[in-house]
């Protein structure tokens, strides 16, 4: 098979002055993931490396620079899944990991379990050679000020916590390798001013991330609660299995998200034949694609 790599860096109303940062971020992620695929590496390794790049990039709501919760802390969630075996690893509400996708990968590879949360996830990570950090190391001044402004306005009025004008910079990747195996990964810091302990869709298997060689690999971004209610990544993968093209299914999934539960967000979708789809119903979505014959990236607009 000819490898394919597709990444996203969030679906929301990305401001004009942040477009270049988003484009650079998804391009760097594509470069890191493609390096793995180009040397014959696995789709699982490729999506992990692509997501790590975006976790390390303060542009996105993942890793360092993520949104702060109501208590002013960073709490991170991530999931990675292998389409050939259906193995998956996820972490939720971790506060002391720079790259939660690394911990998720360790769970997939070295644990009989699928999911760890909070202190248990951090303990597992440390026991498997992943260094912990201080929560303060994940916090940047931009997000301290963003939370301060949000909470100040919230005292006067009730803002929409999930509005598309707020950043939904969850990151994700899907890949197909030369062996014909697909994989998916998603990582996020969640929503601004979220209640401590809140989990969104990103790290939940079948909701914000899914991969099965018999169907498709998917990663979503956007307002998590509606995506969870529809188990949207699995919903989309199942429709690919019925014979529909990923391009059509991704669009159908986002239309379904809006029509059924008034949700908004975006999705990348890839099947084991290398066919892919990108869709969103937010004003903009950051994405990048690379195959053997082409490389593209963009901040697509919702018409």
Task: Report yes or no: 174 and 290 within 8 Å, Cβ to Cβ.
Answer: no
- Active-site annotation, residues: 170
Q: Whats the size of the chain, residue-wise?
A: 303
Task: Report yes or no: 100 and 79 within 8 Å, Cβ to Cβ.
Answer: no
Using N-to-C axis directions, what is the helix angle for 19-38 and 43-55, rounded to 10°? 150
| CA 128 – CA 107 distance, rounded (Å) | 9
Task: Report yes or no: 28 and 297 within 8 Å, Cβ to Cβ.
Answer: no
Burial readout 262-290 (b: 16 or more C-beta within 10 A, e: otherwise): ebbbbbbbbbbebbbbbbbbbbbbbbbbb
Sign of CA dihedral 269, 92, 167, 27: negative
| CA 78 – CA 294 distance, rounded (Å) | 29
The single-letter DSSP state of residue 130 is P
| CA 262 – CA 247 distance, rounded (Å) | 21
Radius of gyration of the chain (CA): 17
Q: Which residue has the tokens 């292998």?
A: 82
Residue 150 to residues 17, 61, 72, 194, Cα–Cα distance (Å)? 20, 16, 12, 11
């Amino acid at each position: 098979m000819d490898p394919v790599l597709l990444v996203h860096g969030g679906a929301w109303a990305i401001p004009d002055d942040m477009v270049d940062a988003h484009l650079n971020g998804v391009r760097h992620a594509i470069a890191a993931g493609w390096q793995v695929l180009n040397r014959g590496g696995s789709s699982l390794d490729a999506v992990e490396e692509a997501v790590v790049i975006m976790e390390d990039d303060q542009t996105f709501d993942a890793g360092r620079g993520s949104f702060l919760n109501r208590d002013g802390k960073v709490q991170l969630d991530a999931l990675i899944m292998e389409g050939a075996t259906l193995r998956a690893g996820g972490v939720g509400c971790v506060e002391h990991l720079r790259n939660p996708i690394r911990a998720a990968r360790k769970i997939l590879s070295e644990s009989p379990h699928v999911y760890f949360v909070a202190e248990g996830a951090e303990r597992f990570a440390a026991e498997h050679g992943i260094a912990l950090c201080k929560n303060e190391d994940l916090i940047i001044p931009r997000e301290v000020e963003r939370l301060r402004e949000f909470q100040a306005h919230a005292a006067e009025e009730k803002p929409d916590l999930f509005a598309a004008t707020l950043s939904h910079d969850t990151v994700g990747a899907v890949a197909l390798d030369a062996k014909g195996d697909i994989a998916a990964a998603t990582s996020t810091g969640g929503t601004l001013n979220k209640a401590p302990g809140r989990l969104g869709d990103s790290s939940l298997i079948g909701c914000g991330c899914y991969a099965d060689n018999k169907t498709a690999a998917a990663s979503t971004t956007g307002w998590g609660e509606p995506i969870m209610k529809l188990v949207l990544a699995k919903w989309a993968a199942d429709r690919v299995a019925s014979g529909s093209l990923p391009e059509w299914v991704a669009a159908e999934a986002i239309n379904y998200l809006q029509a059924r539960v008034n949700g908004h967000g975006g999705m990348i979708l890839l099947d084991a034949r290398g066919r892919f789809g990108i869709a969103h119903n937010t004003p903009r979505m950051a994405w990048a694609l690379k195959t053997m014959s082409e490389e593209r990236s963009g901040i697509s607009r919702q018409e």
